[in-house]
Amino acid sequence: MKTLLLTLTTTLTLTILSCGGSKVNTQASTSDVQTSAPVDVSFDADSAFAFCQAQCDFGPRTMNSEAHEQCGQWIAKKFQDYGLQVTEQRTTVHGFNGTPLLANNIIASYKPELQDRILICAHWDSRPWADNDPDDTKHHEPVMAANDGASGVAVMLELARLLNVESLEFFDERSGKAERSDVSTASEESLNTQHSALNIGVDFICFDAEDWGTHNDSESWCLGSQYWARNPHKPGYKAKFGILLDMVGGQQARFYREYYSTKYANSVVDRVWSAAFKAGYSSYFLQEDTGAITDDHLSVNEIAKIPCIDIIPYYPQCYESSFGPTWHTVSDDMQHIDKNTLKAVGQTLVQVIWEI
């Protein structure tokens, strides 16, 4: 799934929370919510689910594997198909044990000519070891990473599809294929008007080499985002804010206000949680704080100096992991992906983008 390791100073915090300790309640920032309406653009969870399945069809996307290379090519082409400008940032990073890892950060830009931009990101690699599986004989098997990797990319691809009204499709569950949508002229005109009114550029970044890490070295995680933060795809790149999507398709997922997110980008947390309220998904985005997580957003905040939050689930009552029962196990597969969770996260992001 993700490179979700806890920092040493905050491991105790999440341990206490996961054992049922008290949680910090925060007041909802909804001063302007009551007069705001949900935007008239619908996120298609069936389409996002299909994008998630397509990635898993390649097999585990572990570093240096053929599946990893083939899936990376597919992701880049899908963004290109939706009219985005794609940059592949290929480099070699080194794992904690010195292994050279052929990494590829895939950047897809909507309206690249605009200076005002926002950043949406997720990692797309699979963890090579299911080292949290309850069956220790499976600890050396790769993780399919349907949730911990593919789900975030799937949400971004669906957002890219919606941003390109000329290629809007719908997902036909009977045929298992995405087809050109049969929207009315009036509906298409409405979408075109909304799209032309978007005076903001969007950069989708698929970070690589996030999940090749060891639990006693926080620097061994998020290698792709560390590289990008020090070597952005455009010199001097800046964005107004960033949103990281990590494990956003799990069953019974709920999203808390993560510590580093509130430390570095509290206004962005408020924006996103407010958007969830407006879109009707406040039951998924709880007004409660949780501990600090080492994830791709940390490099974006501390190195690139772009305020970035982490939308990542927290399961306070889960015995297997605070990140859910499938985290870093062989059970992180499509059987455990929930379209309702994809819809909640995706529609919240739609609200954020279209109301800017």
DSSP-assigned letters across all residues of 218-248: GGGS-HHHHHHHHS-SSTT---S-EEEE-S-
Task: Report the run of H or E that residue 172 belongs to, with start and end.
Answer: strand 169-172
Q: How high is the pLDDT of residue 80?
A: 98
Task: Report the run of H or E that residue 344 belongs to, with start and end.
Answer: helix 339-354
Degrees to nearest 5, angle at CA 265 with 161 and 220: 80
What's the whole-model pTM score?
0.87
Give the residue among 297, 281, 262 at the shortest CA–CA distance from 349.
Answer: 281
Give the residue among 79, 296, 298 at the shortest CA–CA distance from 203.
Answer: 79
Domains along the sequence of the chain with CATH: 11-354 (3.40.630.10)
Q: Are the C-beta atoms of residues 7 and 217 closer than 8 Å to each other?
A: no
Q: How high is the pLDDT of residue 189?
A: 55
Q: How high is the pLDDT of residue 167?
A: 47
Alpha-carbon torsion, ordered 32, 266, 161, 299, to 10 deg = 170
Residues 6+ apart with CB under 8 A from 147: 1, 247, 248, 249, 250, 324, 326, 332, 336, 337
- In a structure prediction context, what are the per-residue pLDDT tens digits for the chain, which is 356 residues long? 333 444 333 333 333 233 322 233 333 444 444 447 899 999 999 999 999 999 999 999 999 999 999 999 999 999 999 999 999 999 999 999 999 999 999 999 999 999 999 999 999 999 999 999 999 999 999 999 999 999 999 999 999 999 997 545 444 444 455 454 433 444 455 555 555 568 999 999 999 999 999 988 999 999 999 999 999 999 999 999 999 999 999 999 999 999 999 999 999 999 999 999 999 999 999 999 999 999 999 999 999 999 999 999 999 999 999 999 999 999 999 999 999 999 999 999 999 999 98
Residues 6+ apart with CB under 8 A from 198: 111, 163, 353, 354, 356
Q: Are the C-beta atoms of residues 43 and 349 closer than 8 Å to each other?
A: yes
Per residue in 290-344, pLDDT (tens digit) is 999 999 999 999 999 999 999 999 999 999 999 999 999 999 999 999 999 999 9
